[in-house]
Amino acid sequence: MRGRAWLVAVVALTGLLAPPGAAASPATERLALGAPDASGVRTAEVALGERLVVPVAGGARTRHLDTAAYSMVGVTWRGEVEPAVRVRSRSAGSWTGWRPLETLEDGPGEGGGGETSSARGTHPLWVDDSDGVQVEVAGASGTPRALTLVLIDPGSRAADAATTPSVPPARAAVPGLARAAKPSRAPRPALRTRSDWGANERWRDGRPSYNRQLKQVHIHHTVNANNYSRRDVPGLLRGMYRYHTKSLGWSDIGYNFLVDRFGRIWVGRAGGPANRVRGAHTLGFNHTSVGIAVIGNHETAHPTRRTMNALVALSAWKLDKAGSGATGRVWGRSEGSDRYPARARVRLPIIDGHRDTNDTACPGQLLYNRLGNLRGRAQNRIDRF
């Protein structure tokens, strides 16, 4: 990825069709960028109500829009109406085919304490180096409120190409949390810190929240890309972090940990990887779990051997530290999801897929098929140490 500053283009979509008599948008238009803020992020906000001028069945699309360089695209909205959104991007002078943006079924939920958000959105899609975008919006149930297009360029740092993780400083235990867990037997795997991927700690809202117990590991996939390079990964994480905090209004990146296709484990949420940090990864079940997201789309690609090895090591470490095995089922109580209403008691696998608790395809069928293998291998690792 070439070196460049962040770009975030946030575009309010106020209607599917231009009002009668509105002036037609030009065939191409470059989205201008404002001055960078203290974090180095450059932004542009452009109303697209008059720019969705090309009618299609059930909705409308924009003309081709020129943009400054960006690498990630998503759409957010408010309310229960869920749009069907497709995008295509331009790279090196050529336009991609239309690609759907999948709805993100993560979130802090009503039981998230001080962390709540009424915003909804799609998974952000990684499009590599792009300088144009076209958006198509349709919805059988009408247009959602505050429909917003988000373009993100996470930039590039020299440190993004680092081959070894930094050595994190020793962390003090959180009172009342670490003492409650038995000493870990399964070893802690190598972790890359938030500093390794360039997290801007000023974006976080408030202090981390902690769970009293850890009963489950929820496995996710991020959907956004399969063809990323090693040095792309820190930028991918910065882009997701920015999208989760600034576009969706969450207090931090939603996942506790992320694993890339090269088998590297990245710390997501702040609060200490050894602690029971509450995430925003599994709506209704964040209060007794840890969320691990595999960077990739595993509806279309198998998880790599290195990815599976990392999931085994990370799951075994977290579960053994909590005094739990990796196989079998546990009872959980929902705080309210699109699959289980609030206060519903559900018996779930200790290591499960996001689809087990929410109405979603996550973590992708090709990764979901490997969860039985993951449970068995994680249990063997726990037993071995």
The H or E element spanning position 320 is helix 305-321
91 has a pLDDT exceeding 50: yes
Report the relative pairing of strands 145-153 and 6-13 from DSSP bridges.
Answer: antiparallel
36 has a pLDDT exceeding 70: no
Residue pLDDT, tens place only, 334-375: 999 999 999 999 999 999 999 999 999 999 999 999 999 999
90 has a pLDDT exceeding 60: yes
Q: Give me the mean pLDDT over the 168-172 stretch.
A: 49
Tell me the sheet residues that pair with 70.
130
Measured in degrees and rounded to the nearest 5, phi and psi for residue 15 equal -175, 160
CB atoms within 10 A of CB 58: 12
Which of 327, 265, 255 has the alpha carbon at shortest distance from 104?
255
Residue whose structure tokens are 């810190």: 193
Both tokens assigned to 174:
């959180």
> Helix (H, G, I), strand (E, B), or coil: what is residue 352?
strand
What is the C-alpha separation between 291 and 240, in angstroms, rounded?
15
Q: Give the amino acid at 188.
A: R
180 has a pLDDT exceeding 50: no
Q: Give me the mean pLDDT over the 302-315 stretch.
A: 98
184 has a pLDDT exceeding 60: no
Measured in degrees and rounded to the nearest 5, phi and psi for residue 31 equal -75, 115
What is the C-alpha separation between 85 and 72, in angstroms, rounded?
15
Both tokens assigned to 364:
């992708």
pLDDT confidence of residue 17? 37
Give residue 32's pLDDT band: very low, low, confident or very high (50, 70, 90).
low
The string of DSSP letters for 113-151 reads TT----EEEBPPEEEEEEEEEEEEEE-TT-PPEEEEEEE
